[in-house]
Structure 1
Amino acid sequence: MKYIKPLFFITIILGILGTATLVGIYFYIKPDLPSVTVLKDVRLQTPMRIYTQDGRLISQYGVKRRIPVELDNVPQQLIDAVLATEDSRFYEHKGIDPIGIVRAAINLAVTGEKQQGASTLTMQLARGFFLTREKTYIRKIKEIFIALHMEQVLTKDEILALYLNKIELGHRAFGFGAAAQVYYGKPLSELSLAQLATIAGLPQAPSVLNPISRPDRSVERRRIVLMRMLDEGFITRQEFEEAANAPVTARKHGAEIEVDAPYLADLIYSEMVEVYGKEEAETGGYQVYATAPSDLQRAAQQAVLRNLHDYDERHGYRGPLMHLWGDQQEATDAEAEEAKLTDGPTPRNRKTDWDEASLVEALKKIERIYPLVPAVVMTVDEQSVTTLTVDGEKITVAWEGLDWAREYITDSRQGNEPETASDILREGAVIYLRQQEGDWRLAQMPEVSGAFVAMDPDNGAVRAVVGGYSFYKSQFNRATQAKRQVGSNIKPFVYSAAIEKGYTLASIINDAPINQWNAATGVAWRPENSPAEYDGPIRMRKALGKSKNVVSVRLLRGVGLRETAEHIAKFGFEKDDIPLDETLSLGSGSHTPLEVVRGMSVIANGGFLVRPHFIDRVLDEEGELLWQTQPLWACDPCTDNDGEEGGLPEDDVEAMLAAQLNQNGVTTDKKEAEQKVPAPQVISAQNAFLVADMMRTGVRANGSWNKKTYWLGTGWRARNLLQRTDIAGKTGTTNDSRDTWFSGFHPDLVATAWVGFDNPNRQLGRATRNQNLINRNPEKFNWIGNALIGTEDGAKAAGPAWIRFMQEALADTPHTPMPIPENIVRVRIDRTSGKLTRRTDHTTLFEYFIQGTEPSVYVRDDEVIDPAVEDENETPEPEEIF
């Protein structure tokens, strides 16, 4: 008894001390314990995913890859594998496993090392959410307290679901949904038992047990997982044998990108970061839907790439990137510099020094940018070459893919047409190839740049945007960031100002040279037409269609410089970018393609200034609508608003938006989102209609060839190729062809294409005649010949991109006549004088006028000019296109 009493007191004292110690430890770590609210509202750090309007994945942003899955959608075999391997008594314990703790304590006592952590799933989850992986006693104690706390506020299924979605599994995959995508490129539901067992074995050491970095260790770990499943009765012996002996099929997969549109994705990402902040945008699980459908975005990208390559081929071949064998003394300085810049492979003296495997490895060092494929020339025949690509494929390039490759001398000079393949390439040359309409062609990285924007004129939804040849080569978005001189693309806005001033489409302006002396500078300003041809008195419609420079200057003078500048600003152009001198009329102002397409939309939609936007809607990580973009609509009235009148003044619209919406023009109210907010009407519907109809003239052939009234609009090829009458367009070319544009629209779609060099001082130059291309298709050359030769301009350089895009975009769109607004009348006028006429022959035509502005005087018979009689001995030639 004498020992029992002291032992009893010692036990009590130790119990008190132990309890006090536990209480002390609890209060010590209490500040680090998560609150019940945090545990109840645990948010997975899910990446932001950006989709096209029709749900095709464009991009994914966020360091951690995560694809949340509901517990009901997780394969039972994966749950069995995880529980058997990590915590077989998960549904029996209260957050800590006493058996596991005893086992770990015995191991520590025997070995002196912390080899076993005795962590349950709940403890692993606690560590993953709130702690680190450091092996310290205080971290383990914190882990235990947090685990006990979690078991009190969360159900077992909630804890298991969080674990399956949270745990780190290597290669930046967090959660088993992401691991299935990263390692196998499939959803969890499609994985085999072997694959499920592989990823189930990753939580222990994801960096050294994953099947990509360490396939051997992964196979060993997979066998252990399968053995535990067999021991627990989850699988049969046959299933174990089949899965344990299955081959390793894992390889690294990125996000399931369906449409590669990085310029569009970057615009949307930047807007989301502006709204939510970088961390929240990248981890909040937002699903963002663009306004651009996948088919139009793809069409725009292909149109830009094809157009830039076409320009590049017209101006000659700059030579191979380098040579892998042959006489290196023949290699040009440019080749050597290119090899240095790309950190390319090291050349060897002879072809026999290379085998196919080493050639492929060498080609992998060459920068690969879609659609360019690195290749090496293996053999050179008379009019073809055989190549080996970086993918190990042997490809023969026929003469049709080589004959364009005249030597590039300058942007305005090309060498002679090649006659044989050896005039272009020799064995060992490292080149780029690309496919065009299924055939392989010799290619090179274009030095010229381009941009493209397409927009719905009714609500400003951007339907396609391309900021350059390759986002991976240059992240500078020329569609939204590059302010370049717009050239003749400004003229529709100048003509709109003239109509506002009282001019009509039949007004006669003198197309004659201007020679204005400036006494202050001692220099004469002599704006010229391009080409330098002058028609004398000319109707305003024809002057815009033929892009007469001096007429634009005269209209500016008739309206007034400041009045014209103020009118142009109504179309959404920044006032500071509008020059206050007469060069304004020729497009000396600099604007972005997005600004130009917005301005053109005013003409297309009847006079309303809509607001360009790239995001249609945003969903949260559960797929619930978070907010919907609320655009401005070109409507008057907007009948969807229960008869509410539209066309409000711009200041009133902005005030309304400030009250209803946040600064990004979005709403979280579904009913509010369905209502149409009217855009400000900045020009009248009549003004917009007349300018649009003039622009229709610019994309067609006009008059009669036989009656000598024939003339071409500067963008006539658009009408010829599209075979539509419901389109309108305007070319644009600046001095010395530094910037070229083509802007135009269908009633449902407006688009702008720009081509130029990033260096604004570099001219686009001219292309000389390539007889090889003419010989191949002489009939085609007869009507597009001047597209292949001569000085680059808006019609040649930018127009083809616009045309190819519209061919795709309008392929299934029925003909849509341009609606004629009220107070527009149509009368017959004399073709030359613009006066009323009673004649009905080829010397007359019908013209539109705003009611009350139509001519009131009839042309006299002695004033009528009949070109067919006056020039009956002459044969008219098609005019040079500007």
Structure 2
Amino acid sequence: MNYGKSGLKKQIHACSSKSVKRKTKAAVLTFKLFLLGLITLFVACVFVGLGMFRGMLNSAPDLSTLDMSPNASATILYDAEGNEIETLVMAGSNRQPVEYSQIPKNLVNAIVAIEDSRFWTHKGVDIKGMTRAVFSGLLTRKMEQGASTITQQLIKNVAFDGGMETNFGATVKRKVQEQYLAIQLEKTMDKKIILQNYLNTINLGANTLGVQAASQRYFGKDVSELNLSECAVIAAVTSSPGRYNPITHPEDNAKRRDIVLENMYEQGYITQEERLAAQTDDVYVQIQEVEAARSNEPSVYSYFVDETIVQALADLQEKAGYSETEARNLLYSGGLRIYTTQDPRLQAIVDEEISDPDNYAHSEILYSFTYRLSVTHKDGTTDHYSEANIKSWLRQQTGEETIKLIFATEDEIRQHVEAYKETVVKTDDMIQGERLDITLQPQSSCVLMDQETGYVLAINGGRGEKPTSMSLNRATDTLRQPGSTFKVLTAFAPALDSAGATLGSVYYDEPYSVDEKDFKNWWGSQYVGYANIRDGVTYSMNIIALKTLMNTVTPQLGYQYALDFGITSLVESEVNQTTGQVYTDIGAPLCLGGITYGVSNLELTAAYAAIANRGIYTKPVYYTKIVDSNGKIIIDNEPETRTVLKESTSWLLTNAMEDVCVSSHLYNRTSIHTSKPETKIPNMPTAGKTGTTTNTNDIWFVGYTPYYTMGIWQGYDENSPLDTGDDVRTMWYNIMSRACEKLPAKEFPEKPGTIEEVQICHKSGKLAVPGICDADPEGNMIYTEYFARGTAPTEVCDHHVKVTVCSLSGALASEFCPEALKQNRVYRTLTDEATGVTDDNAYLLPATLKNSTCPIHTGFGFPFLTDENGQPIPGETTPGDGSGTIPGTTGTGNNGTGSTNSGSPTGP
């Protein structure tokens, strides 16, 4: 640089030049503008930030619309004695809310000490904790929960679904709103209520939500019973439910528990002695014991719970107006309390007897199976196979026409399945799905009800281990042929109730056909002749039931009575779309239980309960009420009732069915008997009816005492014949006798005043004639029958005839036969409609006797005189031709004194 004189002049000139001045001014202006821009940008950012902050606050949830109490909690079912029998949960709903007063002080202090030590003093937001969290978040771009207060955590759980944001911005927004709402909440809600809601909401590991659920899960007791160490264990879980789970990670939980206890000591909640005692309390042994016991408990709902769920879901929609989705969500996560009708004592008895192998003809264990196999072949086609395919394959392999899918071992089933699978699965085939279910056989179902209330007290839908919740329930889901139990419902009940018949009404038991279908009785092709409706009930007589239905009731009326009794599975008319065949249950087979689809045990038992309950049908009830989480009754499940029978009819049917339950034989015929073994409960009146289908595929006994009505079914799932029908009666007796053994004596409902007693003839159903009806060839046929007022017979017996015969000749006695030789004999007679050959035919008045009189004592042609006893007097003869008879005469006969009366002979 030139520092000479000339150089300095040049520099001064340059500085003072206009161009330089302009450049300098421009630079200054630019700087000012830049500074102004920065200031403007800063101000704009501040306003934008304030706007965004205000926007966050304005978009925060409305606190007034938020329910801080748990909005998804478990539904609990209770039995009739108030015991908890099941908890219904879905994901995020197994809370069991409790009041603040029920939560131990140690648990409250433990949670506060580890989660929010300044909870009782801050206003919803902990400034110190928040400051730390902000700086930590800016550095790590993670917002740690540790800075949140208990109030904020409650807000997060209730309003923000637990804070599951996927980006930093959303997390910042939620935190701002969370803090704002926490401050607002503490202005209106007591801290104890905030803490109560928080403790009922938090996740405490092992799929437990809330302190009550955690207490039950880990310690098997109510939260109010927790000690200090146990409270610290639960508080230790809060920061990381997975890591500090005391079941799966007891060591980690123990370390965290000690920190909780240390914090409680430092914050003055406990003493040093209490802290040390709690640390040495090995609660983890207890936790493992509770877990071991829990693992032995059934993991699926019982049959009773299944049916309660079904009924509750339907009622929440039909009675409370919820949609199907709303009803299901409410049932599984609405914190409901459902008070069921289940009697725990009776349920235990039913379950024990259903499981007892001694109650089955096969005391050895048998098995059936269901099988599903889907195979995609190399060519892309897919085929589906089942146990039906295996049955056909076995038929081909063995050459036997009849194959029963009943096996002695499970291994035998698996061998057949594998062998069959090899025949259908080829190389390069792909198995898309396969399932094999093996089931104990034969099976049973049981429904036990209180007939007066309609309450279902116990139910069992199958023998053996229940595979899953909401699985097949043979008591409610399975339809089986009811056999002779339907005689009472569709023939005898309507006959007595509205068709003018009585228990004494007689029908002729004989070979019988309807629409070219031949019917016979269950004992074979022996027919007894005249028998009445009481006989039809007591000895389950098919022909008597059929004739009652067809000649007195009509199938249409019998069908209507079945509907009135609550049977919903009947078919009025249905067309098979493949064959075009029309099916209907309005016909003769109805009264024998020959119906299209069958009937459920539940509906059959409820029908008989109506007879037991003075003719009043009550729809089966599984629960009495449903209460919401606030204690409000949603559904008060009042029983639905209707009158099906007159009270007099129900009494008469009960009286007849009492005869079923004691051993007897019809007219001393050993092949025609009542229940065996007997089903009469000791010291308790008992009524009921058997039911056995063709080939003994289904066997039933449905009956009742003054306390309970119960239906038992036995059979094979795949409908194979059973060996005997006695076992179902044995099981029924075993259950009912145990159920009633400690109950006070009680009688069936008192005989109505409209019932009267009349002595009638068993063979005619009409008024008995002493000296005739009681002299029947098979014994006394006079008995006392009960009748509804106005239905007793007024005509006298016309099915017996009394004749006097001469014991010497065996012909009808004439007036000349000695009195000592005259014998009165009673024979049966038939009306014109009685055409079949039956036992009655053996006791009819012989044709040879009808139009003949004694050929010996005629008064005209005796070859010898007789003494007063009708014996001949040696050497003495009477006038005449000595023939001894005078053909075609109707003379008065010998008077037995040795002399003759005058008469006009007509002989040669």
Q: Structure 2 length normalisation: TM-score?
A: 0.67
Residues 71-470 of structure 1 correspond to what in structure 2 (within 5 A)? 71-105=100-134, 107=136, 117-131=146-160, 132-134=163-165, 136-247=171-282, 248-249=284-285, 250-251=287-288, 253=291, 262-274=302-314, 275=316, 276=322, 277-306=327-356, 310-311=359-360, 313-314=362-363, 316-317=364-365, 446-469=440-463, 470=465
* C-alpha RMSD of matched pairs (Å): 3.8
CA distance in 2, matches of 1:701, 1:412: 36
Cα distance 1:40–1:543, how it changes in 2: closer, same or farther (>3 A)?
A: closer
Q: Deviations over 1:606-630 (max 9, x none)?
A: 2223222212112232445443222
Post-superposition shift, 1:187?
A: 1.5
User: Residue type matched to 2:233 in 1?
Assistant: T
User: 1:368-419 CA distances to partner (integer Å, 9 max, x unpaired)?
Assistant: xxxxxxxxxxxxxxxxxxxxxxxxxxxxxxxxxxxxxxxxx9979999xxxx
Give SS of 1:206's match. coil
Q: Distance in 1 between matches of 2:137 and 2:144?
A: 7
Task: Tell me the distance in 1 between the aligned counterparts of 2:440 and 2:657.
Answer: 31
Relative to structure 2, which stretch is displaced further, 593-602 or 87-96? 593-602
Report the Cα offset of residue 596 of structure 1.
Answer: 1.0
What are the superposed Cα offsets for residues 8-66 of structure 1, whole Å, 9 maximum, x if unpaired?
x99999799547524422324633x2323333564442211111122122211113322
CA contact (8 A) 1:312 1:446 kept: no
Kindly indicate whether residue 612 of structure 2 is the aligned counterpart of residue 579 of structure 1: no
Give the letter for the 2:198 counterpart. Y
Q: Which residue of the partner structure matches residue 621 of structure 1? A: 629
Q: Does the CA contact (< 8 Å) of 2:359 and 2:731 recur in 1?
A: no
**Residues 1:692 and 2:654 are matched in the alignment:** yes
User: By how many angstroms is 1:261 displaced?
Assistant: 6.7
Structure 2: distance between partners of 1:483 and 1:143: 57
CA distance in 2, matches of 1:11, 1:218: 54
Q: 1:227 to 1:853 in 2, by over 3 A?
A: same
Q: 2:636, 2:712 → 1: CA distance?
A: 29
Contact 1:546 1:712 in 2 (8 A): yes
**Alpha carbons of structure 1 residues 488 and 111: separation in structure 2 relative to 1, 3 Å:** closer
Change (3 A) 1:15 1:143: farther
Q: How does 1:442-841 map to 2 (within 5 A)?
A: 446-469=440-463, 470-472=465-467, 475-493=471-489, 494-499=491-496, 500-515=498-513, 518=516, 524-559=517-552, 560-574=554-568, 576=571, 579-589=585-595, 590-632=598-640, 679-702=641-664, 714-720=674-680, 722-724=681-683, 726-759=685-718, 762-766=719-723, 792-793=724-725, 796-811=726-741, 812-835=743-766, 836-838=768-770
Compared with structure 1, are the counterparts of its residues 604 and 627 closer, same or farther at alpha carbon in structure 2 (3 Å cutoff)? same
Which residue matches 1:875?
none
- Whether the 8 Å CA contact 1:698–1:716 is kept in 2: the answer is no
Contact 2:70 / 2:200 at 8 angstroms: preserved in 1? no
CA distance in 1, matches of 2:714, 2:99: 49
Distance 1:260 1:110 in 2: 50
Whether the 8 Å contact between 1:461 and 1:614 is mirrored in structure 2 is yes
Provide the secondary structure at the position in 2 that maps to 1:609: strand
Question: Which runs of no fewer than 5 residues in structure 2 stay unpaired?
Answer: 1-33, 317-321, 374-401, 409-437, 573-583, 803-824, 829-838, 844-908
Structure 1 SS opposite 2:786? strand
| 1:715/1:729 contact within 8 Å kept | no
Match of 1:826, as an amino acid? E
Looking at structure 1, the residues matched to 124 and 649 of structure 2 have their Cα atoms a distance apart, in angstroms, of: 75
Code of the aligned partner of 2:55: F
Whether contact under 8 Å (1:700, 1:713) holds in the other structure is no
Secondary structure in 2 matching 1:179: helix
State how far apart, in whole Å, the 1-side matches of 2:38 and 2:493 are: 101
Is 1:21 paired with 2:49? yes
Distance 2:676 2:58 in 1: 78
Q: Is the 8 A contact 1:487 1:734 kept in 2?
A: yes
Residue 848 (structure 1) aligns with: 786
Matching residue's letter, 2:600 = T
Contact 1:197–1:226 under 8 Å retained in 2: yes
CA distance in 1 between partners of 2:593 and 2:629 (Å): 47
Instruction: Flag structure 1 segments of 5+ consecutive residues without an equivalent.
Output: 1-5, 320-333, 342-408, 416-443, 519-523, 633-678, 767-791, 872-882
Distance 1:222 1:18, change over 3 A: farther
Q: Distance in 1 between matches of 2:340 and 2:637?
A: 10
Q: Distance in 2 between matches of 1:462 and 1:531?
A: 38
1:785 maps to: none
Q: Which amino acid aligns with 1:313?
A: H
Structure 1 SS opposite 2:531? strand
Question: Residue 648 of structure 2 contacts residue 752 of structure 2 at CA under 8 Å; is this kept in 1?
Answer: yes
Q: Per the alignment, do residues 413 and 178 of structure 1 end up closer, same or farther by CA in structure 2, a change over 3 Å counting?
A: closer
Contact 1:58-1:262 at 8 Å conserved across structures: no
Residue 200 of structure 1: SS of its match in structure 2? helix
Percent identity over the alignment is 26
SS in 2 for 1:576: coil
Query: In the aligned structure 2, how far is the partner of 1:282 from the partner of 1:300?
Result: 28
Choose between structure 1 and 2 for higher RCO, CA contacts under 8 A separated by at least 6 residues. 1
* Partner amino acid, structure 2, of 1:87: D
Matched-pair contact (CA < 8 Å) for 1:553–1:582 = yes
1:556/1:272 CA distance change after superposition, 3 Å? closer
Moved more, 580-589 or 109-118: 109-118
Which residue identity is paired with 1:228? N
- SS of the aligned residue for 2:534 comes to helix
Indicate conservation of the 8 Å contact 1:58/1:260, yes or no.
no
Aligned partners of 2:299, 2:450: CA distance in 1, in Å? 20
Aligned to 2:426: none
The 8 Å contact of residues 475 and 600 in structure 2, kept in 1 or not, is answered as yes
Closer, same or farther in 2 for the Cα pair 1:680/1:180, shift >3 Å?
closer
Change in CA separation of 1:686 and 1:318 when aligned onto 2, cut-off 3 Å:
closer
How many residues were matched structurally? Answer: 667
Query: How far did residue 231 of structure 1 move?
Result: 1.1
Post-superposition Cα deviations, 1:497-536, rounded to whole Å, max 9, x if no partner, equal: 2223222222222222225673xxxxx5343433444322
Q: For 1:763 and 1:95, how far apart are their aligned partners in 2? A: 71
**Are the equivalent residues in 1 in contact too, given 2:78–2:84 (CA < 8 A)?**
yes
Code of the aligned partner of 1:21 = G
1:600–1:744 contact (8 Å) kept in structure 2? yes
Structure 1 distance, partners of 2:39, 2:102, is 52
Q: Alpha-carbon deviations, 1:735-789, whole Å to 9, x = none?
A: 1112211111123322211122222xx32332xxxxxxxxxxxxxxxxxxxxxxx
| Conserved 8 A contact 1:58-1:257 | no
Q: 1:97 to 1:453 in 2, by over 3 A?
A: same
8 Å contact from structure 1 (residues 505, 690) kept in 2? yes
How far residue 602 of structure 1 moved from its aligned partner, in angstroms, is: 2.5
1:30 lines up with 2:58 in the alignment: yes
C-alpha displacement of 1:714: 2.9
Pick closer, same or farther for the CA change 1:27–1:271 going to 2, 3 Å.
Answer: farther
